[in-house]
Structure 1
Amino acid sequence: MRVVDWGWALLVVLVWGVNFVVIHVGLVDVPPLLLGALRFLLVALPAVFFVPRPRIPLRWLLAYGLTISFGQFALLFSAMRVGMPAGVASLVLQSQMIFTLLFGAVLLGERWQRHQPAALGLAGIGLLVLATQQQAGGMTLLGFVLTLGAAACWGLGNIVTRRISQSGPVDLLGLVVWGALVPPLPFLAASLWLEGPSRVVGSLQHLSTSSVLAIGYLALIATIVGYVIWGRLLQRYPVAEVAPLTLLVPVVGLLAARVLLDERLQGVQWCGIALVLAGLLVNLFWPRWRLWVHRHG
């Protein structure tokens, strides 16, 4: 990966790492499904009147909006509402690497390199360790499972993005903006059904300044800026090379949650986190280490 693209990738890491603290702030006054509806409404409007629609079939636009937008964030926001700490959520969501590589192999026929099963094994063991720590630091099993579901939706959305890019150049800003037209209606319908009309109306009538700022960050920074950059990286490089970079997000997420929310983790949880991050290190640096050994051995 070029140095400039490393810079863009690290910017996404910073934006998405802080994102979890912002979600926590937004959920204080706004129920999760309504928060999702407001986020993507702000992404889409008024931008759709100024950004051309991407030249892709409608089915792919719907697939993008329903996986990487609606599916991922309906589950993630709900998870954080029912007992998933922001810092731990930032880590567990990065299991999207596992789902992306699995979906990439099954749906796109991408071959794994020899070191990647070991990397995924380490990350998987780390997630298993975290899954056993119910109530540690406020985490619930339901919150953990919902976050894994969100990661699976993100992984499938990565494959959709990759598949779209294989058919030719795509305006990624257009994809993000027009794709954001898809989730608001499912979000709103689910919110009215599960959260209730009175709660929806009451939340809208009493939006606090912190909620408005949180929605603005989620829509404009985390979604438009983050996903446009992420999509460009997926266009330029194989899924197996790009997806693992997001395992750096929990480093920022955990630090931000510790400093801003005073979230504290147990020793066993740190062991799980270390295993997940070890999977990232193996996936990123093993090929380079092998090449260095070959050249200098």
Structure 2
Amino acid sequence: MSNKDMLIALSIVVLWGVNFVVIAWGLEGMPPLLMGGLRFLLVASIGSLFFKRPDIPFVWWVAYAIPISFLQFAFLFSAMKFGMPAGLASLALQSQALFTLLFAFLILKEAIKGYQLLAIIVAISGLSLIAFSHDTTTMTAIGFGLTMAGAASWAMGNICNRTISNRGYKANVNLIIWSAWVPPIPFFICSLWFEGPEIIIDSLVSFSWQSMASLIYLAVFATILGYGSWSYLLSRYPTSQVAPLSLGVPIVGLTSASLLLNESVSAIQWMGAFLVLTGLLMNTFGSRFKRKIAIEAQ
């Protein structure tokens, strides 16, 4: 990877890691479901000017957008509103990789290899430590549960992405941008139903520069610029070289939340974070390590 592309990769990791701090700031002035709807409306409005409309039937736009855009962020934003710290959210959400393995096994009938099963066990052990740490000063049970629901929704979106690719379509950044026209509808309906018209009106009337800056960051920098740059890297390098870079996101997330939000993580939660990252590393590099052992044994 060239120096320029490595800088782009590191910039993406920072953008996505700090993203969780920005979400926390945005939630100070907006309810979570309203913020989600405004975020994706902004993504669609701006992104559609720069990315071509994907040559994919609209039904697949909906099938992709509902789990990965609407459900994932409805759960994540609500989780952070109800007591999930930004730093731990950036880590726990990465469990989507484990849910993806499970759903691929159950839905697509893909086999789970031995090292992947071990990775799942290690990561679940870490998540269990975080969930049952009894550190009520920084995390609530409902916040953790909603984050896990968000991770599972992301995984379902991954399965839909794979299905779209298997049907011969290109499920790339163009789909991410144009399918963003779909989630504002369920977001605004749910916001009206659960958050109520009074809270929505109050949020819009008292709309602050902090709220606007948060939405611009989430839409333009984290989504359009982030995924656009990620798609650029995937077009130039093997997926196996690019994908592991996302493991740096929770490291940036935990660090930025500590520095910018003064969040603290207990010793048990740090131990759980270490196990989760270990499991993710095992899942990412397990096949490569297995091949290396096989070659050396010959």
- Compute the TM-score of the two structures, normalised by the length of structure 1: 0.88
Q: Which residue of 1 aligns with 2:174?
A: 174
- Asked whether 1:87 is paired with 2:81, we answer no
Query: How does 1:94-105 map onto structure 2 within 5 Å?
Result: 94-105=94-105
Change (3 A) 1:259 1:288: same
- Compute the displacement of 1:133 (Å): 2.2
Q: Which residue of 1 aligns with 2:149?
A: 149
Query: How does 1:16-31 map onto structure 2 within 5 Å?
Result: 16-31=16-31
Which amino acid is the alignment partner of residue 217 of structure 1? Y
Q: Which moved more, 1:170-179 or 1:195-204?
A: 170-179
Q: Which residue of 2 aligns with 1:48?
A: 48
Q: Which residue of 2 aligns with 1:218?
A: 218
Q: Which residue of 2 aligns with 1:132?
A: 132
Q: Distance in 2 between matches of 1:165 and 1:9?
A: 24
Q: Distance in 1 between matches of 2:248 and 2:134?
A: 24
- Compute the displacement of 1:147 (Å): 0.3
- Compute the displacement of 1:177 (Å): 2.0
Which amino acid is the alignment partner of residue 117 of structure 2? P
- Asked whether 1:254 is paired with 2:254, we answer yes
Change (3 A) 1:135 1:184: same
Change (3 A) 1:273 1:173: closer
Kept in 2, the 8 Å contact 1:137–1:265? The answer is no
Q: Distance in 2 between matches of 1:208 and 1:249?
A: 28
- Compute the displacement of 1:269 (Å): 0.7
- Compute the displacement of 1:84 (Å): 0.4
Q: Distance in 2 between matches of 1:158 and 1:10?
A: 23
Q: Which moved more, 1:153-162 or 1:25-34?
A: 153-162
Which amino acid is the alignment partner of residue 13 of structure 1? V
Q: Percent of aligned positions with the same letter in both sequences?
A: 48
- Compute the displacement of 1:110 (Å): 3.2
Kept in 2, the 8 Å contact 1:86–1:253? The answer is yes
- Compute the displacement of 1:264 (Å): 0.7
Q: Distance in 2 between matches of 1:92 and 1:137?
A: 18
Q: Distance in 2 between matches of 1:160 and 1:243?
A: 18
Q: Which residue of 1 aligns with 2:196?
A: 196
Q: Which runs of 5+ in 2 are unaligned?
A: none
Which amino acid is the alignment partner of residue 207 of structure 1? F
Q: Which residue of 2 aligns with 1:32?
A: 32
Q: Which moved more, 1:14-23 or 1:134-143?
A: 134-143
Kept in 2, the 8 Å contact 1:12–1:229? The answer is yes
Change (3 A) 1:112 1:225: farther
Kept in 1, the 8 Å contact 2:55–2:169? The answer is no
Q: Which moved more, 1:142-151 or 1:114-123?
A: 114-123
Change (3 A) 1:24 1:253: same
Q: Distance in 2 between matches of 1:14 and 1:54?
A: 28
- Asked whether 1:60 is paired with 2:60, we answer yes
Kept in 2, the 8 Å contact 1:136–1:265? The answer is no
Q: Distance in 1 between matches of 2:276 and 2:158?
A: 20
Q: Which residue of 1 aligns with 2:264?
A: 264
Matched residue of 2:48: which SS?
Answer: helix
Q: Which runs of 5+ in 1 are unaligned?
A: none
RMSD over aligned Cα atoms: 2.7
Q: Distance in 2 between matches of 1:219 and 1:136?
A: 32
Which amino acid is the alignment partner of residue 270 of structure 1? W
Kept in 1, the 8 Å contact 2:97–2:280? The answer is no
Kept in 2, the 8 Å contact 1:245–1:280? The answer is no
Q: Which moved more, 1:143-152 or 1:58-67?
A: 58-67
- Compute the displacement of 1:196 (Å): 1.1
Change (3 A) 1:289 1:170: closer
Q: Which moved more, 1:99-108 or 1:9-18?
A: 9-18
Q: Which residue of 1 aligns with 2:76?
A: 76
Q: Distance in 1 between matches of 2:183 and 2:25?
A: 21
Q: Which residue of 1 aligns with 2:121?
A: 121
Matched residue of 1:159: which SS?
Answer: helix
Change (3 A) 1:230 1:157: farther
Kept in 1, the 8 Å contact 2:116–2:286? The answer is no
Q: Which moved more, 1:39-48 or 1:271-280?
A: 39-48
Change (3 A) 1:233 1:150: farther
Which amino acid is the alignment partner of residue 275 of structure 2? L
- Compute the displacement of 1:136 (Å): 3.7
- Compute the displacement of 1:51 (Å): 4.2
Q: Which moved more, 1:104-113 or 1:29-38?
A: 104-113
- Compute the displacement of 1:251 (Å): 0.7
Change (3 A) 1:127 1:107: same
Q: Distance in 1 between matches of 2:162 and 2:19?
A: 24
